[in-house]
Structures are given as C-alpha cells and as structure tokens.
Amino acid sequence: MVRTAVCLVLSLVIALRPAAAQSVLRDAETEAFFREISAPLVRAAGMRPEDVEIVLVGDRAINAFTAGGQTVYINSGLIEEASTANEVQGVIAHELGHVEGGHAMRGGDAAASAQSITIGSLLLGALAAVAGAGDAAAGIMMAGQRAAIGKYLAYSRVQESVADASGARYLSEAGITGRGSIDFFKKLQSYEFRLGIPQDDEQAFVRSHPLSGDRVQYLRDTYSKDPAWEAPLNPKWESDFKRVKAKLLGYIARPEETLRDYPESDQSVPARYARAYAWHKSAYPKKATQEAQSLIATDPNDPYFQELYGQILLESGKPDQAMAPLRKAVAGSDNNPLIAALFGHALVATEDRANLAEAQEVLKSAVVRDNRNPFAWYQLGVVYEQQGDQARAALATAERDLMTGESSLALRHSDQAMSGLPDYSPDWLRAQDIRLIAEAQLEDDKKRRR
C-alpha cells in the first residue's frame, strides 16, 4: 500500500507540472498576427507588447496555458477549433489574466502545499502500517490523497475565475467585444460533452476549472453590459486569421484532409494557401508552385506569399530559383529573422562559395534579432565551417545545442570554441557563458536523477 501511495504522489506532482515541453511551431506571419491582435489586450493588462510573447505549440489538443514569465502558449488545436480572431483574443485575454496574477508561480506554492499534505498522509499511513493497522493505513493514505488533490483543484478553480474576470476587463478596456470569448467557451463545453466530462455540480469539486456552463453565464452577464459588446469585429484581423488558420491546417493536417476542407473549387486566398502546403507535402511540386504563383499574382508585394514560393522552390531542390522570392520576402517583411534564416539557408544550399559572405551577413543579422532559432544557428555554423572558421562554427553549434536541450554537446562545443578564439574576446566570453549554463543544466539533471 505504501508503494501505491507513493505512485499517487508522483502522479500528482507530474500532473501539476505545466505542459511546456511541447514542440513549438514558428511562422513569421502567424507570429506577426499574434502580436497584432494581442497588443491592445497586453496594454490593457498593464504590460508592454514587446515584453509579452504568444507561442504556438504543435499540439492538436484544444488548450492554452502559461508557464511562468510573460509568455502565453496556444496549442495548434485551439486555432483549428476557433472560428474567428475574436475567439482567439478571448483566450489570450484569459491567459493574460494568469500572467498578470502570477498564477504560474503561485500555482507552484499550491502544489507544494498539496504535496506536503500528501507526504504527511504517507508518514501517518506508514506509522499505522508498522503498528499492524493495514486498513487504517490505507484509509489515511487515500484520505491524504483526496485532501491534497482537492486543495490544489480548489485553488486552480479560483485562479481560473480570476483570469476570467481579468480577461473580461482587458477586452473591455481595449474596446473589443467579448462575444468571441463566450463563443469559444461554448465550444469548450460542447467538447467536454463529447468527451463525457460531467457538467453537474456534484462533479465540480474534482475539476481544475469551473463548470463551463457557469463560466458562460458569468461572462455573458459581464460582457452584455459592456459598451464594447456591440463593437464590430476588426475586418483585417478576421481576414488575417483565415489565412493563418489555413496555413496551419495545410502544414499539420493530412493532405487529404486539407484538400477536402479547401477544394480546388475554392479560389480564396486561404484555400490556395492551404492547398499549396498540402500539394508540397504530397510531393506535387508543380501544383504547389502553381498555388504559390497564383497567390503572388493577387499581391506581388505580400512578403508571406513570396516566402511560401521560395520555401517550396528551396525544399524542391531549387535553391538558386528560391533566392529571388526569398530576398523579396526578407525586404518586404522588414528583415523578419525567421524569413531571413530561410533565405540564408537558400544561399548556403546553392553550394556556391560566392554566396557565403552574404549568407553570413544575413544569418548573423537573423540571430541578433531572434536568437531562439536553432535552425538559423545551425546554418550560421555551416557557413563558418565552409569558411574555415572552426572556432565560430563550434560557437554557433553550441548556441544551437543549448536551445535544443543538448547540454553535454553544448559543453563540448563551447570548449572547442574557447580553445580557438582570442581570450576574453566577445565570442570567447559568449562561449564561456554557454559553458557555465550547460554545466549548471547538467548538474540540475544529476540532482533530479538522484
């Protein structure tokens, strides 16, 4: 029985950890969309838009969460389920309520409190077991488990209610209607019905969130009195959302699903976007290229259409042809670092040494503006290696290793970089920083395994 109780403790602790170890999906157009629709909400929450990040997670479950700091994570499944940008704004507003309230940090305190109850019940149960009262021991342990879980879930429900109220305030102050927020909570309620999740009051105490029906009623009462209730939807945001959603579905869904949802009879921009990805994934480069070219014909100055066309050409083994549209995409997007990294990759992929100097310049600029892109660091390492600069190739590789969680490799490559760089130069100092971070991460890993 003690072993079973210990397993329950571990299950509780694991359940309380944020699901942040998912794959992150990065796309220049999608990230620009998130920044634009969240900026008024972020300001209403008393934060600066440049300090808050909205991250798309590659998980088709309908979910959004925070995990500390000023970052909101949105699952790809939530974008799939949403019908409007306004619905996504409702979710972002709610999650910003968690950010402003510091709920991720306080949730750790609640978890620690719940765990202390659980550990206490284990000790009492163990004493009862030693005394020969096996049934009593089991009862004490199970009661402790229920108390611990109940305490944490009650705290979680309070946090969710606070975030609902805060999100409603942000939408109101930004002059954005709360209709989308209500519509999305209704979708969540229907989703729970499909999964067979109880919706009655008797089951409310075992939920981490308030009953969806209660939340819809509360938000309806709140939003319907708000002056922004009748505010029209922003047409640009709604149009951009259709593009972003179509692009995402084209990327993550099976090609046959995409072609079913966006048949060739649909000649809208979002449909052509989705089909371009579906054809590209299905190894029909000619059809994918035609869709991309048709998008460019509608707006030759759209940098994201040029990016798509260049990506298709590059990944079809035509880097020389990809350079022109990607160059236009970089210029048209104000040197967006994600697009710049793709352009740098095309320059490298030509295998023309005459392109290495430009590739180095483009990629260095990309990692300065966005140093969280392991792909860009990898490409920069390739450039340095082809130029014979092994020390800086090792440094770029160490940067990538650090981002991908390969601490032991980061340690090894940072040592290689330091051995070949001038002592105390900026690059040498950065290699030393990486070494110290990697050492600390490895030490933390050892402690967790003990």
pLDDT tens digits for 330-358? 999 999 999 999 999 999 999 999 999 99
Find, among 35, 20, 25, the residue nearest to 76 by Cα. Answer: 25
H-type alpha helices, 196-234: 212-223
| Least confident among 77-81, 270-274, 374-378, 443-447 | 443-447
Q: Which fold has domain 297-449?
A: 1.25.40
Regarding pTM above 0.75, the answer is: yes
In which residue are the tokens 């309520």 written? 97
pLDDT at position 171 is 95
pLDDT at position 297 is 97
In this model, does residue 300 exceed pLDDT 90?
A: yes
Domain extents for the chain? 2-230, 254-296, 297-449
In which residue are the tokens 């100097």 written? 357
Q: How far apart are CA 259 and CA 276, in angstroms?
A: 10
pLDDT at position 200 is 53
The DSSP element (H or E) to which 24 belongs, if any, is: strand 24-25
pLDDT at position 17 is 35
> At a CB cut-off of 8 Å and minimum separation 6, what does 52 contact?
38, 42, 70, 71, 72, 96, 99
Cα-Cα-Cα-Cα torsion 281, 33, 295, 312, nearest 10 degrees, comes to -30
Cα-Cα-Cα-Cα torsion 78, 82, 86, 91, nearest 10 degrees, comes to -30
Q: What is the pLDDT of residues 370-386, one digit of tens each?
A: 988 999 999 999 999 99
Q: How far apart are CA 362 and CA 376, in angstroms?
A: 10
Average pLDDT, the chain: 84
| Least confident among 36-50, 128-142, 223-237, 312-326 | 128-142
Q: How far apart are CA 284 and CA 3, in angstroms?
A: 56
**Do the beta carbons of residue 35 and residue 171 sit within 8 Å?**
no
> For the residues 226-252, what does the mean pLDDT come to?
96
Query: Which pLDDT band, with edges at 50, 70 and 90, does 131 fall under?
Result: low
pLDDT at position 211 is 61
> For the residues 116-138, what does the mean pLDDT come to?
47
Q: What is the pLDDT of residues 174-201, one digit of tens each?
A: 999 999 998 988 887 777 666 665 555 5
In this model, does residue 149 exceed pLDDT 60?
A: no
CA angle 269, 275, 276 (to 5 degrees): 90
In this model, does residue 145 exceed pLDDT 90?
A: no
> For the residues 33-58, what does the mean pLDDT come to?
96
In this model, does residue 215 exceed pLDDT 80?
A: no
Query: Which pLDDT band, with edges at 50, 70 and 90, does 218 fall under?
Result: confident
